[in-house]
Amino acid sequence: MSSDHTHNPGFIRKYVFSVDHKVIGVQYAVTSLIFLFFGFSLMMIMRWQLAYPGDAIPLIGGWLGQYLVDNNGVLLPEGYNALGAMHGTIMVFLGVVPLAVGGFGNYVMPLQIGAPDMAFPRLNMASYWVYVLGGIAMLASFFVPGGAANSGWTSYPPLSVIANVDNAHHFWNGQTIWLLGMVLLITSSLLGSVNFIVTIVHLRVKGLTMFRLPFFVWAQLVTSFLLLLAFPPLEAAGVLQLMDRAFDTSFFMPTGLVVSGVVRDEYAGGGSPLLWQHLFWFLAHPEVYVLILPALGIIGEIIANNTRRPLWGYKTLVYSVVFLGFMSFVVWAHHMFLTGMGTTMSNFFQTTTMIISIPSVVILTAMLLSLWNASIRFNVPMLFALSFLPMFAIGGLTGLPLGLSASDIQLHDTYYVIGHFHYVVAPGTIMALFAGIYFWFPKVTGRKMSTLLGHLHFWPTLLFMNVIFGPMLIIGLRGVSRRLWDQTEYVLGAEVQGWTVMSSWGAWMLGLSQLPFIINFFYSAVAGKKSVENPWKATTLEWAAPSPPPHGNFAEVPVVYRGPYEYSVPGAKEDFQPQHLSDAKLS
Amino acid sequence: MSSELLPHTLEPHPVTGMYNGKFGLWLFLASEVMLFGALFSAYILLRTHGDFPSHEETTLNYKIGALNTFLLITSSVTMVMAWASFKLNEPSKGKLYLWLTVFLSVAFLVIKIKFEYLHKIHHGITPDTSTFYAIYYCMTGLHGLHILGGVIVMLYFLLPGFGLWRKNPEQFTNRIECTGLYWHFVDLVWIFLFPVFYLL
Amino acid sequence: MASSIEEVRKSVRLYLMVFGALGVLTIVTVLASSLNVSVAVGVFVALAIASVKGTLVATYFMHLLGERSTLYWVLILAAFFFLLLILIPVMMHSETVHLIDQVT
Ligand code: HEM
Ligand SMILES: [Cu+2]
């Protein structure tokens, strides 16, 4: 609070325990990119076992340790489960959300509203460090006796409560650490969401009314509300499951549970496994919108900028996003059609699910219409943004059969589900996040990324994303279950093994295709071509600040005169009219 | 960024009518509503779903519960009086009320732990005895942690944090107001916990 | 929002009155629980009294009365989702009934 020590902060205060939203944003972004790559690497290991069941993992098989592989370096079934559970957890909670919200939201949003910082800078720092603690907990769980959590990212009881029983006497086992890690990550998100909402509502500069906010800011606002209100029920459920594990309570343990022929009478019983599913999905459905809304926000910015036209139907987009956010709280049980919840409930939730698809389609359509007849600038961010649209469309459309309780009977828990949601989060969100990185890189570093390397990154990435996830839809339709260590044990799985091999090679090739990006990222940060303040000739406020923006962001507090996307205004001198320049200055 | 430079650190926003801290605190309370909502939901489910002991079988002492309810309600009043005193520029009165609040909440915790938890545990009644005790320990325990958190914050403002009063009384009073909002919410949760566990 | 000195001074008396009401209601709820009524009525009475007490705390101690619509909207949203959570047991109840129907 006191201003005396902010003038000349030392290295630690400036770059490690910084309260500047830009430093924190970069910290979030770099940390989460590392986690993304780590989570992806787990999957590259799993894909070996899937493609060549029972073969030793090449190169690294010997190093993976007794909880993951046997003496010959073959992935154990338990190890496969652990990698799968941790892949899901890490990708969602340590990778995409922190990058989309913690990274992009933190860095870009305050700039776009003309604020000098977030409303609560120290709380912001706390969010980041609590997130790091959660990440360390998750990583550490690989090394405790029994290895990491292996009950899926959904952690369904009773399986998850009795998981790691051999180590039950040992408090620090993987599943328990997973729960503790989740509590930390949830806390971090909560602190962050309070900060975001207050900042967006209170810290907008003069003239920046709600309906002049860039679409990205709206997306972040709705996302923050989802985090604020959907996460606490999972936190509560996490505490309950922790008690089930640590104190043998029976919140989720039914009476008379028998597992593998053994009566589990250490649990008094009387609980319900379904309660967990309800509380989990009460969070986790809104969570998928947390994964997608910031991506939509990024895409909106980039499309407007590179079509040199206003986004088509800005207000419609805003209303759709708000409606989407609200509806995402009323669809959760579409993940539970097969729990015997009865036709009345199924009907209710399939109806809400069909309703929620409407605003998603509206958003996508508005973005497509923005392209219509435009003279598009095909730079690297725009390529990624354009590829997002069909990928997200595939992801969304393949979701419809899952939202109908009848067709879900066949598709539930097959690779079709995996294919569907990965089209949303991997070729979808991840492409959007890449687009955002290429787009805002000059703002953050003052330098541009290489276009050649950008192309070398984009084309193979787009190709291999589809090589990976397309086959999953196919083998899923054939009935292959997800979370299988070896699908060739089943006739129907053996028949489609070819597709699985193809998918695996796609994954490894995707890994290789990230090399140009990694090189580009580091090389351009230190030696890229110097960029000007506003290299893309964009209209929103972040481009009014120097690149990179100094502490406090703007030399003088900007004033906003117009909406966010005034491109190609008829009769204007330039084809873009920045929000902060008055009419007088523009003419 | 020193927060003096941030807009609406002190003066309320013209539209929302709140300063940053107060808005933030209310948002936090909204999330707390969801946290306790999930737990109340779990309670209702366990109670209506099976093997839940009837009220007669449980052994919570409603007199202790009522006494604790009284302590908390009183602490809510002393809390709001503390804020009013600071607002009226009577810091010594404000401090006194704040100390009273701390005292009442510590009394609450001592009674809760010594005469309820430890007493029960002594008689072999632990969270795994039945789903009733599981949810009882869980919800009252979480509530107790909230009380503890509040006490720590109040002690902070009474001891090392009091320097802010001399530097910036308005900001100090605001923080007491936020602490109060939190405190009343914790009281409010107890107002529901009491009948749910002790009377029904 | 009790902001001016005068208003704060006036509200001090109000706080004490609310305090009295909360105390009385606590006694009432304890007494009511000893009445011999059906469980449903008992639950209803206890929750009704708790709700009145909660409302008193929120409106007067937390000054909700003087706040603006932004805050109301946030709280209405939270209250709505809170209700959804509370409905989960009802949903699950309908599911058991459904299963029992199938068995019998
Ligand atoms: C881009 C590269 C990715 C590849 C190759 C990949 C691959 C896979 C595969 C094959 C599975 C199924 C494993 C099984 O059922 O046995 C899976 C599961 C999963 N993935 Fe990914 N994924 C990728 C990215 C992501 C991203 C970006 C996210 C989230 C934002 C994500 C979240 C999940 C989740 C939540 C699961 C379910 C885990 C479970 O079964 O509990 N993945 N992934
Ligand atoms: Cu869903």
**pLDDT tens digit sequence for A36-70:** 999 999 999 999 999 999 999 999 988 898 999 99
C-alpha closest to that of B195 among C32, A240, C18, C61: C32
Task: Identify the pLDDT of residue A185.
Answer: 97
Task: Identify the pLDDT of residue B58.
Answer: 82
Give yes or no: residues C45 and C4 share one domain. yes
**Neighbour-count burial of A523, counting CB atoms closer than 10 A to its CB (0-12 exposed, 13-18 middle, 19+ buried):** middle
Share of chain C above pLDDT 90, in %: 62
Tell me the chain B residues in contact with residue C82 when contact means C-beta distances shorter than 8 Å. 33-34, 37
Please tell me which residue, C1 or A527, carries the higher pLDDT value: A527
Is the per-residue pLDDT at C2 higher than 70? Answer: no
- Calculate mean pLDDT across residues A553-578: 93
Give yes or no: residues C35 and C86 share one domain. no
Q: Give the 3-state secondary structure of residue B28.
A: helix
User: Which DSSP string corresponds to A428-495?
Assistant: IIIHHHHHHHHHHHHHHHSBPPPHHHHHHHHHHHHHHHHHHHHHHHHHHHTTPBSS-S-GGGSHHHHH
Does residue A6 belong to any structural domain of this protein?
no
Structural domain boundaries, residue A419: 22-586
> What CATH fold (topology level) applies to the domain B20-199?
Four Helix Bundle (Hemerythrin (Met), subunit A) (1.20.120)
Structural domain boundaries, residue C45: 1-67
Give yes or no: residues C18 and C49 share one domain. yes
Tell me the chain C residues in contact with residue A342 when contact means C-beta distances shorter than 8 Å. 94-95, 98
Give yes or no: residues C96 and C62 share one domain. no
If one counts the domains in chain A, the total is 1
Task: Identify the pLDDT of residue A146.
Answer: 86
B182 and B150 Cβ atoms separated by less than 8 Å:
yes
Contact criterion met (CB < 8 Å) for A278 and C92: yes
Does residue A7 belong to any structural domain of this protein?
no
If one counts the domains in chain C, the total is 2
Q: What is the DSSP letter of A258?
A: E
pLDDT per residue over B164-174, tens digit each?
999 999 999 99
Is the per-residue pLDDT at A137 higher than 80? Answer: yes
Q: If you average pLDDT over every residue of chain B, what do you get? A: 94
Residue A566, domain CATH: 1.20.210.10
Does residue A530 belong to any structural domain of this protein?
yes
Instruction: Give yes or no for residue A87 CB within 6 A of ligand 1.
Output: yes
- Calculate mean pLDDT across residues A323-350: 93
Give yes or no: residues C72 and C56 share one domain. no
**Neighbour-count burial of A240, counting CB atoms closer than 10 A to its CB (0-12 exposed, 13-18 middle, 19+ buried):** buried
- Calculate mean pLDDT across residues A27-33: 98
Please tell me which residue, A522 or A585, carries the higher pLDDT value: A522
Q: What are phi and psi of A555, to 5 degrees?
A: -60, -50
C-alpha closest to that of C87 among A233, A156, A271, A357: A233
Give yes or no: residues C54 and C79 share one domain. no
Name residue A75's beta-bridge partners: A69
A89-98, A162-171, A341-350: which range is least confident on average?
A: A162-171
- Calculate mean pLDDT across residues A377-391: 98
Question: What atom in ligand 1 is closest to the CA of residue A484?
Answer: 16
**Structural domain boundaries of chain B?**
20-199
Q: If you average pLDDT over every residue of chain A, what do you get? A: 94
C-alpha closest to that of A289 among A245, A252, A341, A325: A325
Whether omega for the bond prior to residue A548 falls within 30 degrees of 0, making it cis, is yes
Contact criterion met (CB < 8 Å) for B131 and A243: no
Is the per-residue pLDDT at A446 higher than 60? Answer: yes
A87 and A105 Cβ atoms separated by less than 8 Å:
no
Interface test with A, best of C75, C91, C100, C102 (most A CBs within 10 A): C91
Give the chain C residue whose CA is nearest to the CA of B65: C30
- Position C62, amino acid: M
Name residue A447's beta-bridge partners: A530
Q: How far is CA B194 from the centre of its chain?
A: 13
A285-299, B67-81, B100-114, C87-101: which range is least confident on average?
A: C87-101
What is the C-alpha to C-alpha distance for residues A303 and A290, in angstroms, rounded to an integer?
A: 21
A18 and A549 Cβ atoms separated by less than 8 Å:
no
Tell me the chain A residues in contact with residue C84 when contact means C-beta distances shorter than 8 Å. 282, 329-330
- Position B172, amino acid: F
B200 and C42 Cβ atoms separated by less than 8 Å:
yes
Q: Write the CA distances from A386 to A250, A419, A455, integer angstroms.
A: 50, 20, 14
Task: Identify the pLDDT of residue B3.
Answer: 44
Task: Identify the pLDDT of residue A8.
Answer: 63
CA distance A99 to chain B (A): 23
What is the C-alpha to C-alpha distance for residues A416 and B189, in angstroms, rounded to an integer?
A: 44
Task: Identify the pLDDT of residue A166.
Answer: 60
pLDDT per residue over A388-414, tens digit each?
999 999 999 999 999 999 999 999 999
Instruction: Give yes or no for residue A507 CB within 6 A of ligand 1.
Output: yes
- The overall longest dimension of chain C from CA atoms, in Å, is 70
Instruction: Give the pair of three-digit tokens for residue A85.
Output: 């559970």
A215 and A297 Cβ atoms separated by less than 8 Å:
yes
Give yes or no: residues C72 and C57 share one domain. no
Is the per-residue pLDDT at A199 higher than 80? Answer: yes
Q: How far is CA B115 from the centre of its chain?
A: 20
For C41, residues 6+ apart whose C-beta sits below 8 A from its C-beta are: none
What is the C-alpha to C-alpha distance for residues A214 and B113, in angstroms, rounded to an integer?
A: 52
Interface A-C: count of C-beta contacts within 8 A: 39
C-alpha closest to that of A280 among A245, A324, A233, A327: A233
Q: How many C-beta atoms lie closer than 10 Å to residue A72's C-beta? A: 11
For C82, residues 6+ apart whose C-beta sits below 8 A from its C-beta are: B33, B34, B37
Instruction: Give yes or no for residue A13 CB within 6 A of ligand 1.
Output: no
ipTM of the complex: 0.95
Does residue A1 belong to any structural domain of this protein?
no
* CB nearest C62 (choices: B70, B184, B196): B184
Q: Which residue has the tokens 């008055």?
A: A582
Give yes or no: residues C54 and C82 share one domain. no
